[in-house]
Structure 1
C-alpha cells in the first residue's frame, strides 16, 4: 500500500482523488473541489456517537459506533469505498482530523484485502494549509487589478492572462445585481478552498504577479478573504475600455442569452417553466436596485424588459433587450462607476481596450 501522506501541496497541485469519510453535515459545511463524500457514519449515527463520547468517554463511543455500523450496513459502506478505490487507485481518504474515523475505514478496507492511504491530519490540516498558503501568496506577489465599466469584458481578460485569480468564477456570481446564476453559489468555505487551490497552482507555474478583477468585499454571498481584499484596495488598477455598443452586446450575452441557456439546461423537459424562471431572474435583478435607481426609472425599465421578454418568448429574438440594458448602463452602472473611479484615479497605471490590456499584463508577467 502507498504510504499515508501529509504532502498537502502535492495533493492539491496534482488534483489527487480524495474520499471524504466525514458525515454529510460536515461535508456540506466545507469541502474541496472534486472530492467524493462516502461517510463512515450518517449524520444521525455521528450525533449518537458524539453524545455517547461526551457522557461516557471514547471507549463507549467506539463500541456504539461498531454497533451502529455493522452487518449489511457495514458491508454496503465498505463496498462503496472499494468501488471508489478501484476507480481512483492514486487517491486518498480522510476524515476531520485524520484520526479514528479514517483509520477505521482504512482498517475495514484492509480486512477486505484493499490497501488505501489516508491524509495525515485530515480535513482540518488541509484547510489550514490552504488558508495559510493563500495569505502567503497574496502577501508575497504584487497584485494587478483589472477595473472598468460594466460590460467591458473584465472576466474575459482575467481568463486570458497568466497569474489570474477568478473571484467571480469561484464565487459562481458575476458580482452585480444581475450576477446570480441559475444554480446556487458555493458556501464561503468552498469558495475560499477553491480560490486557495487556484493560487497554489498559479504560483507553482511560476507567476510573478497576480491579476484579479476589481470587486467589492462581497461577490454575491461570498466574502473575499480579508487580507486579499485589503491588498486589492492598494494595488494598481488597469482600466479596461470598450465602446458602449460592445458593452451592451456583451451584457446581452451574459444576462439574457447565457442565463436563458442556464435555466433551459436545468429544465430541458419544460421550456415554459425555464423561461418563466429566467424572466423572474431578470425582473428580480432590476427590483434589487430599485432604491438606487429610483422607482420611476425602475418601472420604466421594467416595462421595456417585459416587452422584450414577451417578444423573446414569441419569436426567440433577444434584440429588444438591448433597450433596457442600455438604459441600465446609462442610468445606473455608469454613474456608479464614475463615482467610484473618482477616488481611484491615482491608482490607474494603464488604460486600453481588451487587446491592449491583455498585452500589457502579459508583458508585466514576463519581466
Structure 2
C-alpha cells in the first residue's frame, strides 16, 4: 500500500533510521536542485520529458499520459531492478508529488517493494528551505578564518572537521573556491543547491556554542551567502592566518593541480589581466603558457591577490581579532587548537553576561 508522507514526516523518519530518497525526475531537473542525499532514478530522460510536455500543451493531458505510460513501461524491469538493490526504506518524489512519483510508487507497490511518496515533492521542500532562510536564525558564534590566498584556510577547516569541531565549509557547499580560478576542477552549485545544503548545515549546528567558517566574500562563484549569515560572519571572532609566500604557493599548487588544466587557468587569467600592471600581466601570461605555474602563482599573489586582500581587511578590523604567524599549515593548526581555549572562555563569559542581564 502506498503511503503519502509530509516533508516533516520524512525528516522524522530520516532521524530515526537509514533512509533512501529517490528522485524520479529527469537528470537535468535532478542536477538543478534536489533534496540533499537523494539518488536519481528517473522515470523519463530529459528528451522524453520534453516530448511529453509538448504533447500535454499541444494535444491533450490524456495523450501525454498515454505516451508517458508507454515510455515508462519499457523501463519497468530496469527501474524495479535498481530499486530492489536499495536495502533501506525508501521514499520517492518528483517535482510536486504528481504523476511521476505516483506511477513509480504504484509500480513498486505492485512488485512488493514498499516505498513512501513525498506529498508536494521537491516544490514543498524548496518552499521549506526558503522559509527557513527567511527566519534568519542561527545562534552559534562564528569563528572566521581569514588570511591571504593560499594560507591553508580550507585545509584547516577540513582538519577541524576531522577533530570533531563544528565547521560550515561555504566553499564546499558552493562547489567553488571563491576566486576567479575557483571553479577549475569542480562542479559549481547553483543558488538552490547551495541554499538547501546550507539550511541543513545550519540545522545540524544550531545548538553548538560556536562554528568555524572561512572569511568569504558575499558571493562565492554562482551563489550568494544569505545576508543574515554574512552579517553574522562580519561580526564574528576573526582569526588571521599568516604563512610564508613559498608555503602559500605550495598550498595553491597542491589544491589546484594546474598541470592538469593549464588552458583553463589561462582562460580564467584573461578575465583579470587588465587589472594587473601590463608588464607584469604579460609576464604572468607567458609563464602560464610555458607551464611555469610556481612562478606565475607567486606573481599573481604579489601583484593581484595580496593587494586586494590588504584593501579588504582594512575595512573590516575587529576588536577581537586573533593573529597566527606560522611556518606551515601544521604549525597554524596547532596554534589554532590552542586558541580554541580562548574561544571557549569568551563564549562562556558571553553566556554569563547574558544570564546576568536577562
If the length of structure 1 is used for normalisation, what is the TM-score?
A: 0.78
In structure 1, what is the Cα distance between the partners aligned to 2:175 and 2:100? 33
Contact 1:8/1:129, CA 8 A, preserved across alignment: no
The Cα of 1:54 is off from its aligned counterpart by: 6.5
1:275 counterpart residue number: none
SS at match of 2:118: coil
1:297 counterpart residue number: 280
In structure 1, what is the Cα distance between the partners aligned to 2:171 and 2:98? 35
In structure 2, what is the Cα distance between the partners aligned to 1:170 and 1:103? 31
Range that drifts further, 85-94 or 192-201: 192-201
- Counterparts of residues 25-104 of structure 1 (less than 5 Å): 25-43=28-46, 46=49, 61=61, 63-71=62-70, 73-88=71-86, 89-104=88-103
Contact 1:158/1:212, CA 8 A, preserved across alignment: yes
Question: CA, structure 1 residues 45+331, in 2 after alignment: closer, same or farther (shift >3 Å)?
Answer: closer
2:201 counterpart residue number: 198
The Cα of 1:335 is off from its aligned counterpart by: 1.5
- Tell me whether 1:360 sits opposite 2:339 in the alignment: yes
SS at match of 2:151: coil
Contact 1:134/1:199, CA 8 A, preserved across alignment: no
In structure 2, what is the Cα distance between the partners aligned to 1:40 and 1:97? 15
Question: CA, structure 1 residues 359+138, in 2 after alignment: closer, same or farther (shift >3 Å)?
Answer: farther
If the length of structure 2 is used for normalisation, what is the TM-score?
A: 0.79
In structure 2, what is the Cα distance between the partners aligned to 1:339 and 1:79? 61
Post-superposition Cα deviations, 1:306-332, rounded to whole Å, max 9, x if no partner, equal: 44x1xxxxxxxxxx5333322222222
In structure 2, what is the Cα distance between the partners aligned to 1:80 and 1:362? 55
Range that drifts further, 41-50 or 87-96: 41-50
Question: CA, structure 1 residues 176+55, in 2 after alignment: closer, same or farther (shift >3 Å)?
Answer: closer
In structure 2, what is the Cα distance between the partners aligned to 1:362 and 1:157? 17
Question: CA, structure 1 residues 70+284, in 2 after alignment: closer, same or farther (shift >3 Å)?
Answer: closer
The total of aligned residue pairs comes to 331
- Tell me whether 1:230 sits opposite 2:222 in the alignment: no
Question: CA, structure 1 residues 160+207, in 2 after alignment: closer, same or farther (shift >3 Å)?
Answer: farther
Contact 2:249/2:294, CA 8 A, preserved across alignment: yes
The Cα of 1:182 is off from its aligned counterpart by: 2.5
Can you give the 5+ residue segments of structure 1 that lack an aligned partner in the other structure? 264-277, 310-319
In structure 2, what is the Cα distance between the partners aligned to 1:209 and 1:360? 13
SS at match of 1:207: coil
The Cα of 1:360 is off from its aligned counterpart by: 2.5
- Counterparts of residues 15-26 of structure 1 (less than 5 Å): 16-26=19-29
- Counterparts of residues 1-367 of structure 1 (less than 5 Å): 3-6=3-6, 7-10=9-12, 16-43=19-46, 46=49, 61=61, 63-71=62-70, 73-88=71-86, 89-133=88-132, 136=135, 139-161=138-160, 162-203=165-206, 206-255=207-256, 258-260=257-259, 263=260, 278-307=261-290, 309=291, 321-346=293-318, 348-353=320-325, 354=332, 355-361=334-340, 364=343
